[in-house]
Amino acid sequence: MSQALTLARPYARAAFAIARDEGKFAPWSEALAFSARVAADPHVSALLLNPELTRGEAVAMLAPEASAETFGRFLELLADARRLPVLPEIAAMYEQLRADAEHVVKATVTSATEMSAAELDTIKAALKKRFGLEVEVRTAVDASLIGGAVIDAGDVVIDGSLKGKLSRLQTALAH
């Protein structure tokens, strides 16, 4: 995986630079997300490694219909360098660069049960205060947490779940 990240980094930075210069962060996000989903499909990823696949065929398969000409050229560049299989990593890195540029932290709140809008607003306000940035919150439900929530905001993970507390208690008692 680290090799894929190393290979993806310069292309993600290039895609970000193009999107910034064009002032089109959202269209590039959408196009990269589409292409990454297609490239991540096991059947397509196997096909992308086929040396008989032409550049045009690969680009036609991965480019969204409404994508800009520059995005098509970007995919052609990836095809020439045989880097189409790392599109998922490129898309993820691009999104991180975009979030940094727009001063946004993307957080995932996983709770044992569905959270109310008021609870999410409280968490969002606390994260905004902690990071000093705008916060985009995505939610998920995992009943195995028993209670509480786990907040994953980039490099920061806050485990306030009952499952996590029990695990930490078990570790403390074992030592």
Q: Where do the structural domains in the chain lie, given as residue ranges?
A: 2-100, 104-174
Topology of the domain comprising 2-100: Peroxidase; domain 1 (1.10.520)
Over 19-56, what HEC string results?
Answer: HHHHCCHHHHHHHHHHHHHHHHCHHHHHHHCCCCCCHH
In tens digits, what is the pLDDT along the chain, a chain of 175 residues?
578 888 999 999 999 999 999 999 999 999 999 999 999 999 998 888 888 888 889 888 898 887 778 999 999 999 999 899 999 999 999 999 999 899 999 999 999 999 999 999 999 999 999 999 999 999 999 999 999 999 998 789 999 999 999 999 999 999 8
* Residues 164 and 112: beta-carbon distance below 8 Å: no
- pTM for the model: 0.74
